[in-house]
Amino acid sequence: MSSSALSRLSNIQGHLHPLDSNSKVGEGLVKLSPEVSQALSCGHAVVALESTIISHGMPYPQNLETAKEVEAIVRENGAVPATVAILDGKPCIGLSMEELERLATLGTRAQKTARRDIAYVVATRGNGATTVSATVYFASMVGISVFVTGGIGGVHRHGENTMDISSDLTELGRTPVAVISAGVKSILDIPRTLEYLETQGVCVATYKTNEFPAFFTETSGCKATCRVDSPEECARLIDANMKLKLGTGILIAVPIPKEHSASGNLIESAIQSALREARDKNITGSAETPFLLARVNEITGGASLASNIALVKNNSLVGARIAVALAQLREHSNKGKAF
């Protein structure tokens, strides 16, 4: 076994060992599925996937069908999917079909879990569906460099008054994982979100476009500062970020495919209506995003949910190819060192 493979295996085992001498055998920090553990130890491509989209993003059984389809897309493109969730207080990286179904049927009864909630959900042996910030944290813990989601959180509209800023942004500022998304959820303040990411030192790259996408639509009016045009370019960017030990994540924004893009005017009108309802009902904090997305879907007659599913699938395809390119780049680099 090569030194790099041994290093990867040591990193994984370090998180699987018991916490202390009083812990029972097997009570480690996290539970890796056999498939994910094997892939990581061999340096194969792995893609982390969040679970909030399953529990809070759409109803059952559509959520389960989408989760299965997304994992299948990752596999078809050469990578191993690692859906992340907390089940009975145990952080799980890579879910079995039974665990996926359990999470899908739990729905909103599973706690929406950001970084701040991890310790509480674990300590109370609860069930948690991980958001971007929590999933990025767990991915980094075991050495997964690529994470796919729909859209990240950000600075909420009127955030300059409410200070409602997603922990996704600060997580990207301190955790070196590449996040593949369709930009920032369009219910948010996109220009201010990009400013905040710049403050956090996060490299924001757009995929095959010069304009930052807006989740349901291809464009946001915000120009990109960094563009990448292939999985190989993305892999080199991620590899450079890791080797330089910058300690920050990368956001790679992939526009929704044109054929699935919703009308910008239709979406914006629905968002404004949903925002008014949220204010009238005093819905804030972690409850706001699920409420807004659900109301926008209702107002648009299901058009926004169809777009959401399409963009997640597209991101999964792109993310898997990036993960494969990164694994190949690292394998080539390690072979070069051996000589």
Q: Each residue of 260-287: pLDDT tens digit?
A: 887 667 877 888 898 889 889 998 877 8
User: What one-character-per-residue DSSP string does 189-206 give?
Assistant: -HHHHHHHHHHTT-EEEE
Higher pLDDT, 292 or 117: 117
**Alpha-helix residue ranges (DSSP H) falling in the chain:** 3-16, 34-42, 52-55, 62-76, 97-106, 118-123, 132-142, 159-162, 167-172, 190-199, 231-243, 264-280, 288-299, 303-338
Q: Structure tokens of 263?
A: 């009308």
Percent above pLDDT 90 for the chain: 68
Dist CA 35 CA 169 (whole Å) = 30
pLDDT of residue 112: 95
| Between 62 and 25, the higher pLDDT residue | 62
Q: Is the pLDDT of residue 19 over 80?
A: no
pLDDT band, very low/low/confident/very high, at 23 (cuts 50, 70, 90)? very low
Query: What does the pLDDT read at residue 10?
Result: 52
DSSP 254: -
What separation in angstroms does the CA of 219 have from each of 34, 164, 184, 215, 330? 40, 24, 11, 8, 33
- β partners of residue 111: 128
Indicate whether 231 pLDDT > 90. yes
State the average pLDDT for the chain.
89
The predicted model scores a pTM of 0.88
CA distance 59 to 63: 6
Indicate the helix (H) or strand (E) that contains 82: strand 80-87
Catalytic residue among 71, 112, 171, 185: 185
Q: Tell me: pLDDT of 5 over 60.
A: no
Average pLDDT score over residue span 90-110: 97
Contact 268, 144 (CB under 8 A): no
Tell me if 130 sits within 8 A of 138, measured CB to CB.
yes
pLDDT band at 339 (very low <50, low <70, confident <90, very high): low
How do residues 285-313 score in pLDDT, each as one tens digit? 778 878 888 888 889 888 878 888 999 99
> 258 an active-site residue?
no
Angstrom CA distances, 325 to 146, 157, 322, 328, 330, stand at 11, 37, 5, 5, 9
Rounded CA separation 46/35 (Å): 10
Identity at 65, one-letter amino acid code? E
pLDDT score for 238: 98
Give 210-224 pLDDT, tens digit per residue: 999 988 888 899 998
Residue 228: strand, helix, or coil: strand
Distances (CA, A) of 133 to 19, 229, 253, 255: 23, 26, 17, 21
Q: Tell me whether residue 160 is one of the annotated catalytic residues.
A: no
Per-residue pLDDT at 338 exceeds 50? yes
Is the Cβ–Cβ distance between 205 and 224 less than 8 Å? Answer: yes
Using CA atoms, how far apart are residues 21 and 23, in angstroms rounded to an integer?
6
pLDDT above 70 (res 20): no
